[in-house]
Structure 1
Amino acid sequence: MDEQIIDDVRTWLDEVVIGLDLCPFAARPRAENRVRIAVSHARSEEALLDDLQRELERLADTPADELETTLLAIPDMLEDFADYNDFLDAVDIWLEQFGWEGELQVASFHPHYQFADTGPDDAGNLTNRSPWPLLHIIREESLEKAIEHFPDVDGIPERNIRRMEALNADERRRLFPYLFG
């Protein structure tokens, strides 16, 4: 089961995130095999926070030239986006409580991701729709370095929305099969 979950996330990362250039910072660490994809089989928030803590520690204890970032897939809970979104509040508190603020941050991706003030079928939501609920652990120092060398960071979200809007129905079905199954 874990192999399939990891393969799903890897395919999404390669074909959607990198393939559509949604994150201009992802291709290099992926090509250099510095992206960890882990699976949490937690069934409670406490157990998931424990798994997240282990991944935060692993990332903090490993040099960036060996491990840049981690994607933690959550196949056994938080299927409902509202529950997932509520859990992100606990993640923020966790990061603050354990002193990770300023060092690591967590970005969110979910099969039913929906930005505030959008409809569920708005194309822009596809930018954050992953095959499984994910917690993406990012090194703030690496992010800051990448942003320094990117000409228009503020334009990335709008550019990504335009990319999603430009996809035809066949492309959407191919890139997001988990949404049409």
Structure 2
Amino acid sequence: MSTTLPPSAEQAVAATRNWVDKAVIGLNLCPFAKAVQVKQLIRYVASPATSPEQLAEELARELLLLQAAAPEEIDTTLLIHPGVLTDFYDYNDFLRLADDILIDLGLEGELQIASFHPDYQFADAAPDAIENHTNRSPYPTLHLLRESSLDAAVAAFPDAADIFEKNIETLRRLGPAGWKALKLDK
């Protein structure tokens, strides 16, 4: 286990905002992100959790908060948790619990959880494959989304099914040197 201290909440949020601006929006990895970022509808939360149990409790609170909030106040939440689940495989295992929490709260079909991690690796990709960067964030992050917002965004974007493939093409053109040039280091 690493003895490196997690960043402050301000540092974690700043690094994540930078990643959203430069990678997610800047590379157009998510064509829906710019509108909610410009309208300041993304809730950035840096979790102080140091155990999966604490994170699970915070995830439940954030899911309920997002559900209760008006979409014109909070459209989506990035729950950044730099002090827990820094190992990708532990994080990946936690995602099953995250889905169970969503179901237990009766929010399946209303909200969903997307996953981002600094060491994200698709099952069929090599660890250093550039396509992994489509889901690599500065810190482990759970992205809480409203299904209604996704439905509206997909309806407005005619080629939504092609986003993943376009992202891979974008990252392959960019290459590791181009990704590094984005200066997303924490």
Fold conserved (TM > 0.5)? yes
121-130 or 53-62, larger mean C-alpha shift: 53-62
Shift, 1:177, TM fit = 4.0
Matched, 1:31 2:53: no
Gaps of 5+ in 1: none
Gaps of 5+ in 2: 1-7
Aligned partner of 2:12 among 5, 19, 30: 5
Question: CA–CA distance in 2 between the matches of 1:169 and 1:29?
Answer: 28
Structure 1 residue identity aligned to 2:46: V
Question: CA–CA distance in 1 between the matches of 2:47 and 2:159?
Answer: 35
User: Which residue of 2 is the match for residue 50 of structure 1?
Assistant: 57
Q: Percent identity?
A: 46
Matched, 1:16 2:23: yes
Let me know the Cα RMSD of the aligned residues.
Answer: 1.2
Shift, 1:131, TM fit = 0.1
Structure 1 residue identity aligned to 2:63: L
Structure 2 residue identity aligned to 1:132: Y
8 Å contact kept, 2:130–2:175 = no
Structure 1 residue identity aligned to 2:140: P
Question: CA–CA distance in 1 between the matches of 2:73 and 2:24?
Answer: 21
Structure 2 residue identity aligned to 1:99: G
Shift, 1:149, TM fit = 1.4
105-114 or 55-64, larger mean C-alpha shift: 55-64
Q: Paired residues, what number? A: 179
Q: TM-score, normalised by structure 2?
A: 0.93
Alignment of 1:96-115 (within 5 A): 96-115=103-122
